[in-house]
Amino acid sequence: MLKALICDVDGTLTDRRRRVNSRAIEAIRVLIDNGIRVVLASGNTVCFMDAVSRTTGTDGAVVAENGGVYRVGYAGKLQIHGDRESCWKAYHVLESYYASKGQTLELLSPDYRYTDIAFARAVPADEVKEVVKEYPVRVIDTGFAIHIQAPGFTKGEALSALAPELGLTPSDFLAIGDSVNDTEMIRVAGVGVAVANAHADTKKAADWVANREFGDGVVEAIQKFFPSFSYDV
């Protein structure tokens, strides 16, 4: 029996314009009010995740920076994994490459990140991968930003580490996501769901694909896999 939910934010709880789906939040609150643990997971920063978690009503357990950072509760210690120095080296190579083409990369919240480098999707992700292919980093295009991250740390690995600290196992979780950075999380969880707007690789990794897109797909999944609760959404 599923005991917990881990859910991506951008593209899953939000639409493509990053507007939060209020129906999905209400469905999540039904779970919280019935004792189901809820973890929000994102490529975004911890401070962003804190704001989303507090307004949603969770207890503050989060996965941030695509698995490079996780924490149990608002007062918990940040668990930070990854070599950010190697990410900066790769980023500076990219910076020089695009400067030679008259382009400037736009960093996203660099002062609030612990493990990865994120920048705006103004350049092709495949080109970024080619430029830094000799460096010990991986490039992730989430559909909202491009991330440079040390290999070996994913949302799935963060879930595997986080779950025991919550007194749970990964198989206790329903995982919902849309992007390629959600695939490992979806595979590790007891049940993995891709919303209808998800990347093709994410859908392949999922146990079930929602009929609806974005937050409406989250509502659909929650109602399907936690059917014993009453949802007025």
Give the domain 84-149 fold. Answer: Hypothetical Protein Ta0175; Chain: A, domain 2 (3.90.1070)
pLDDT tens digit string along 106-156?
A: 999 999 999 999 999 999 999 999 999 999 999 999 999 999 999 888 999
pLDDT in tens, 65-99: 999 999 999 999 999 998 899 999 999 999 999 99
What was the pLDDT predicted at 233?
A: 79
Active-site option among 8, 10, 116, 172? 8
Q: Report domain extents, the chain.
A: 4-80+153-225, 84-149
**Known active-site residue 8:** yes
Among residues 136, 129, 135, 134, the alpha carbon closest in space to that of 151 is found at: 136
Question: Domain spanning 4-80+153-225: which superfamily?
Answer: HAD superfamily/HAD-like (3.40.50.1000)
Q: Tell whether the model's pLDDT for residue 46 goes beyond 90.
A: yes
Q: Which of 10, 76, 71, 21 is nearest to 43 (CA)?
A: 10
